[in-house]
Structure 1
Amino acid sequence: MKPVEVSWFSALCDDDYEFLGVPDQALKSSWEHCRNIVLAAEKGGFDNILLPSGYALGIDTQMFAGAIAALTKRIRLLMAIRVGETWPPQLARAIATLDQIAGGRLTVNIISSDMPGETLPSKPRYDRTVEVMEILKTILNGQPLDHQGEFYKLKLDPPGVKTVSGKCPPLYFGGLSEDAREASARAADVYLMWPDTMDKVKDVVADMTARAAKYGRTLKFGYRVHVVVRETEAEARTAANRLLSKLDAATGDAIRAKSLDATSVGVKRQAELRDAASDGYVEDNLWTGIGRARSGCGAALVGDPDQIVAKLNAYAEAGMEAFILSGYPHAAEADLFSRHVLPRLNHGPLVM
């Protein structure tokens, strides 16, 4: 297998369940619960962990990242940042400080969605995101900043605090729309995509490779997907069905509708996959049932260890170099994956 980065997910945004759509106080986002997921992922051998960001739900990502950085030693931290929440030079200083606390283990997931109370058309919203990524790279690479953009006009010396490497951490970024793809091609380091059929995965890799080349750039590719692994395929399918056993359609619709990205191109594509699925499966071992109870990433790899390894191998052959995985409940599924699948993968932190 080609070398890949394998990441897990810490449910900072109240996204942990035993039964999807049924809130469980024991799994609600808190410092203790999310800390335990990260520590379990580090113990299990994962290379990185996504610390997601949500405005209305859960706990603050940057505060959590600073605290968990001091409690971990090896696992990288993929901290999600919502563009617009923080003035870019201040964000650069925060990133540099967090990277120092983490001993150089910080990576950054840039999110371009609207802020609550704000609605920007797609193109200017992604143009603003590109400006932020360019500002972060200039400042965190230790260069003076003279940025005269549409959204930010800044002329600054770099801050005194620097990252451990002296460079900007890798910027992970995703989006399926035309504007999102162009933004990724212009400024991201790792292009992330949600689950899709293998032919579409290959199409996206080809398209994004060509787009980046127009700007004299190259991209690495990452794949965000849920996973349900058990000793047999039958057991895995039973576990997947159990996740939905207490969900009613109205609750699922309400969960998806309240998301800030409910109308995005990526979310619409996840709905198309559900509509095209037979018995929930849109292709071998790719189950779309997860999307009935959440917005965004809406499918899971379901199968026995051999099937999951084979599926990840196929994605790697198609160009994926990083996987961001999750499962329900997160700590329990991380343990299963780390015991049954992770030792069989050629994995390590993504090399830029």
Structure 2
Amino acid sequence: MSHVTRPDVPEISWFSALCDDDYEFLGVPDASLAASWPHCRDIVQAADRGGFDNVLLPSGYQLGIDSTAFAAAISTHTDDINLLLAVRMGEMWLPQLARQLASIDQFSNGRLTINIISSDIPGEALDSAPRYQRTREWMQVLRKLLDRESIDFHGEYVNLELDPPRVGTTTGTCPPFYFGGFSPAAKDVAAAEADVFLTWPDTVASVGDTVTEMNALARERYDRDILCGLRAHVIVRETEAEARAAAERLVSKLDADTGDAIRNKSLDAASVGVSRQAELRESAADDGFVEDNLWTGVGRARSGAGAAIVGDPDQVVAKLRAYQEAGVSAFILSGYTHQAECDLVAEHVLPAIEHAPIRPRFTSDLSTGQTTGSA
């Protein structure tokens, strides 16, 4: 069964631009916004102060700074916010990865969550089926290691026998796994192994169809529950006209060749999910809106999540609630520039929506060491 319980209210998270993805004008590099310890630290601390539940720390190889090293550092410079650390399956020896993750969870006093990445490892390329099989095996063994279980696993990509590790998380159990992917192989792995399936921005109806599909896959194939989350950008201003003007300003200096180059830098640039974002962008109206308050212009210079919720505070809140009613239990939001938009969302959106972190099924009373059930 899943390691998390279904929440009554959504988790609302922010994003730290560890992969050189921060701009005042999309496609126009700005040295002051490049990924660095001070810049990304300031974004995470703004999200912590602003009351966000979690923050995604993305992983890149050619881009930005290392997510695992950053998570270890920022864990002691934040107070309440959970840390959603992106880790690439196959990139590191599994027992060492488990030690690092358990240590970071201890540094943060139990605030670690894990974003599973299944893209190619730099310098190699695998077809989809074997790559997701490797991801499946890594997720299975990593969960066991973080649950402090002994390992006797012999698969296609993992061949390991180990006693339970000494170092563990604060709860003694694996933090929640967040995972996204849109190919049949990716969805099957998510249904079997993930706690939260992440989808990219789409129409409310399409996101609802994805939630229905993933719930059915998890229950019918694997007799388990899965939560669904939405990764999207936000542009919120006091009026809709101001929000639309901010969106237009964001892409006002972007040319097509630069946008193509930015999109093609990512290791997942040819994935099924990225293709769907391109389809969404192509189906939009001339102003880039594909439905009320959903603008696809961000995708002109981004390989991943390519649409933004754009509007005044009431419109943005209404859109998030529409996605929630469609079955979304977690939101990972971002905006440009990341710290400025973080402050705007914290001011105008978070107070209007009841929200809370997704918690593991079990939490530990650190004062007694006893493990108890958690709602």
- 1:277 counterpart residue number: 284
2:307 alignment partner AA: A
- 1:72 counterpart residue number: 78
- The structure 2 residue matched to 1:292, chosen from 279, 300, 304, is 300
2:273 alignment partner AA: G
Cα root mean square deviation, aligned = 1.0
Q: Would you say 1:242 and 2:249 are equivalent positions?
A: yes
Does the CA contact (< 8 Å) of 1:2 and 1:346 recur in 2?
no
Q: How many correspondences in the alignment?
A: 352
- 2:331 counterpart residue number: 323
- 1:199 counterpart residue number: 205
Measured in 2, the distance between the counterparts of 1:233 and 1:157 equals 58
- 1:169 counterpart residue number: 175
1:350 deviates by: 1.0
Q: Which structure 2 residues correspond to residues 16-35 of structure 1 after superposition, within 5 A?
A: 16-35=22-41
1:199 deviates by: 1.6
Q: C-alpha offsets along residues 209-249 of structure 1, whole Å, 9 cap, x if unaligned?
A: 11111111110110000000000101000000000000011
Q: Would you say 1:185 and 2:191 are equivalent positions?
A: yes
Q: Secondary structure at the match of 1:109?
A: strand
2:331 alignment partner AA: F
Does the CA contact (< 8 Å) of 1:7 and 1:48 recur in 2?
yes
Q: C-alpha offsets along residues 240-292 of structure 1, whole Å, 9 cap, x if unaligned?
A: 00000000111001111222111100000000000000020111100000000
Does the CA contact (< 8 Å) of 1:99 and 1:164 recur in 2?
yes
Q: Secondary structure at the match of 1:159?
A: coil
2:105 alignment partner AA: D
Q: C-alpha offsets along residues 145-188 of structure 1, whole Å, 9 cap, x if unaligned?
A: 11111101111012110100110000000011111100101101
Q: Unmatched 5+ residue regions in structure 1?
A: none
TM-score by length of 2: 0.93
Q: Would you say 1:131 and 2:137 are equivalent positions?
A: yes
- 1:158 counterpart residue number: 164
Q: Which structure 2 residues correspond to residues 210-249 of structure 1 after superposition, within 5 A?
A: 210-213=216-219, 214-249=221-256
Measured in 2, the distance between the counterparts of 1:250 and 1:142 equals 49
1:351 deviates by: 3.1
Moved more, 223-232 or 199-208: 199-208
Measured in 1, the distance between the counterparts of 2:17 and 2:351 equals 24
Does the CA contact (< 8 Å) of 2:11 and 2:355 recur in 1?
yes
Measured in 1, the distance between the counterparts of 2:48 and 2:264 equals 34
Measured in 1, the distance between the counterparts of 2:136 and 2:43 equals 32
Q: Would you say 1:313 and 2:321 are equivalent positions?
A: yes
Q: Secondary structure at the match of 2:205?
A: helix
1:2 deviates by: 5.2
Q: Secondary structure at the match of 2:160?
A: strand
Distance 1:296 1:265, change over 3 A: same
- The structure 2 residue matched to 1:259, chosen from 250, 259, 266, is 266
- 1:83 counterpart residue number: 89
Q: Secondary structure at the match of 1:180?
A: helix
- 2:62 counterpart residue number: 56
Measured in 1, the distance between the counterparts of 2:121 and 2:157 equals 15
Measured in 2, the distance between the counterparts of 1:248 and 1:293 equals 9
Measured in 1, the distance between the counterparts of 2:159 and 2:264 equals 36
